[in-house]
Structure 1
């Protein structure tokens, strides 16, 4: 360590005020401490640096102002500074009231004339910017590692795919990249194929069809697949060509898939335009349509089902059990799937569908099982019948929300919370008891009220509530 060679000459008559300004300018945090480590003065030069009210540190031991795990470090620095031993830079942490952590890098030095009590000056640097830089570097490294893994998986999939895949520059139509399956289809190697103009290896009529496909994809983002004869003139085969558009580093490219058709394949291997329109209708149907595996895990779903369960994208429900959304705790799914496996069709299964944010809708489910499909699956059509089911299971004459019988109450299990079922059960019992009392007393309201232990006014209120008997104007106003 090299010190000033002639500080008395070079610094002149530097007084305490000037020294304080130098220290405050150099340090983000500066402390003046006595020999016992008690804070005598403090300077915080950064406006955004809040350390649990540093103004309140005066008169407190330095060790009491830092986090518990930093106290041994502070005590060591004080001991070394008092012994005129270089402390070096030590990391000290402050815990803020909101639970966050502020790291400060401190160095301590004893100052004062020899033989006097002197003081210890501790200067600190705010390390939050350094922490943010380290966090940003670590995040960048993680992102870079993820990109490397993604590229590795893409390269592996690109190489092993049995379908031919070529990447084209959209402006020049030149082949930028081609996988081994594409090289086999064209009957060329990468040196001759990459850099060549696409389409190639096809008749002029097929080339026009491919150009129309690429033009449609470039204009509207999609186009109908085409079937062409592709390959060397002596060994051409039927290939289904599809394309997609993507951007990479400000350049636009086509991703072209070349799917060979086997000898046994027919025109049915392509999705016909009417069939594609049918799929569009299914996706936009007002009723929810869901496809699951044989255990009820969702494979795909249309837009109406996403609205039922209150999610934005299909990816948010794919792979989740349908029972998560159907019935109370999924209890309805077990008999529903069991019936589908046994009967292969189910119609009008009444239940409730629950959204991710808590809403519930009464629905009717029809289902079909495809046990011999590849893979086997279950299909469900879900229709909102809240109004109709409400009319079937409620009696408007009993007042809003009151079931007609105990049997209908049991039908609510799995659709309505238990506390609501108990409340409705009380209403049913109360209504039946009032009816029985009126029958036993020959519709004598006073006797019925006495039998039920009610006042006449309370009985009239309940009669109005359940719409029982004909009340006179006087009784209505009671």
Structure 2
């Protein structure tokens, strides 16, 4: 057969036919074959998949169709080939055509058919490059997902560690503790490490695993479930549960907030937040008492408060802002909270309480900062003053004098002048009232009046009220 191939080569009439025959062989053997002369000029281009579309390379320097980083690699490979007649390994080059089309090719280097010619036989790596790009993208997505998961896990751990309430996560499928915080472990009389993975029902006396979990799930999905109480196995103390159920990764999980069981009242677990001998005072006091977070969110309330706002149960007000039950809303609440946080307490703040049906009741409020921790709580005592409201009058002698001056103007001044004087009287009365209610807190007074702080100072100076009480509290 080699002899027949030689005869065919000799039988061809000219070099053109011989070149076509060689190009056919190269097209079958590789994706791209490029012939270059000693000066780096492309002399021929052939190939099954790429050769037909790259004929315009012929006559151009090979460097013109290579990316910048590929040119030194080709020069080094050609220099090695001319010195040794071979290269150790194929060289991978990136071609660019028209500055918009870039594709990688892996070349082997061979001697050409003509003197001084070098033949580059290449395999198209576009599919490999695309696969590599997809793998890199997938790896980046995995890394991003992993970082997001780590961030979420860090937040979860921090929240579980810093929350003051005892919290336990229990798997519904097997009744085992998935996780819990240190307050919950202390309440159950053990350590967190020993309790993770333990059967939750075994931590209580006379509780079966399946029945106990089913009871907690039913309580979580029921709107009017009775309070759940169980006795701990280690110290025989009564524990109450606030269950909620959620689904994570196809598995149902119970999240339980635990608390020591105390006396029962309409306020329920509202009074439970107050410990020791003061619990009875809190629950049965004649005056309304409320404990809120540092932002005014109701955490506990007694029966007197529920009666004042016509709430049937503590759950109707729990988690709501105390400002929702005050006539001036958040303005009243901000004044009370700011003064409590600044001075530790505030007394005799007069406002009106609003019940669930919009009825108003005149009240007098006191606020006390319970602790100065980041998770500080504020206690409020609210007293109904509607019966003695007529006995209290705000001292506004200057305003009363102004009112008499206005009446004396009738007949001696135009209506426009009288209206202007009356407007000044009303404006002064309003400013004096706001300053008195906020105990000369200029920031709170400006917010209550809907003015900017600068505008309030201008009006205080106008009515000679700037030095009231001898100090500037803001």
Q: After TM superposition, is the score higher than 0.5?
A: no
Higher Cα Rg, which structure: 2
Interval of TM-score (by shorter of Structure 1 and Structure 2)? 0.3 to 0.5
TM score, norm. by length of structure 1? 0.44
Q: TM-score, normalised by structure 2?
A: 0.45
